[in-house]
Amino acid sequence: MDKKYFLTLAAYNSWANNIAIAWLDQVNGRQWEQVVPSSFSSIKQTVIHIASAEKIWIDFWKNIPDPVYLSAEFKGTKNDLVEIWRAASAGLRHFIEEYPEENYTQQVTFRYPRGGEGRMEFWQTFSHIINHSTYHRGQLVTILRQVGFTKFSSIDLATFYRDPHQ
């Protein structure tokens, strides 16, 4: 639980997100919106959820007053969403670069999407968002397969560690 480890996780998250975004560039409009049984109903809805979660945790860490879940109000295009996702992904790494390691045990207050508040230590919230994004990228792979996309490469952590270009 040190800065170097968290920077590595943030770099992994950006790397995996960028690969997933490259897949999305190859998906047509029908595939993007196609309804598929999963936690979220489409590629679009799954990506909105991932980007929204990454963005909202940064807002919680920065104590932004009245942060808004992107998933509650996103009306933009696929390109708009991809740019938001890229920015949030880069924002996770930037936040870790600037955040003092001695603050990793400080409590972070967050709001649940359907109301209510929770508290966890910063290191727990950061670990959570990396795990959360990994989980939903896995779902994204399954949904992409179901709509006919098959041009995948591995995005697991072991592949990242072995990738000399990361």
Sign of the alpha-carbon dihedral angle for 98, 101, 102, 103: positive
Amino acid at 93: R
Looking at the chain, which runs of residues are DSSP E strands?
Answer: 107-111, 117-121
How confident is the model over 63-96, as pLDDT tens digits?
Answer: 998 888 887 788 899 999 999 999 999 999 999 9
Is 166 a residue whose pLDDT tops 80? no
**pTM beyond 0.85:** yes
Residue type, 154: S
Which residue shows structure tokens 């109000």?
73
Residue 165 labeled ligand binder: no
Percentage of the residues of the chain whose pLDDT score is greater than 70: 99
Sequence-distant (6+) residues with CB within 8 A of 22 are: none
- Asked whether the predicted pLDDT for residue 14 surpasses 80, the reply is yes
pLDDT at residue 27 tops 90: yes
- Of 66 and 101, the structure prediction assigns the larger pLDDT to 101
Decide if pLDDT at 61 tops 70: yes
Consult the annotation and say whether 136 binds a ligand. yes
Instruction: Quickly state the pLDDT bin for 165 (edges 50, 70, 90).
Output: low
Contact 81, 43 (CB under 8 A): no
Structure tokens at 121: 């230590």
Residue 147: Cβ within 10 Å count: 17
Topology (CATH level 3) of domain 3-162: Four Helix Bundle (Hemerythrin (Met), subunit A) (1.20.120)
What would the mean pLDDT of 10-16 be, rounded to a whole number? 97
Confidence of residue 110 (pLDDT cuts 50, 70, 90): very high
pLDDT reading at 107 higher than 70:
yes
49 is in an annotated binding site: yes
**Where in the chain are the domains?**
3-162
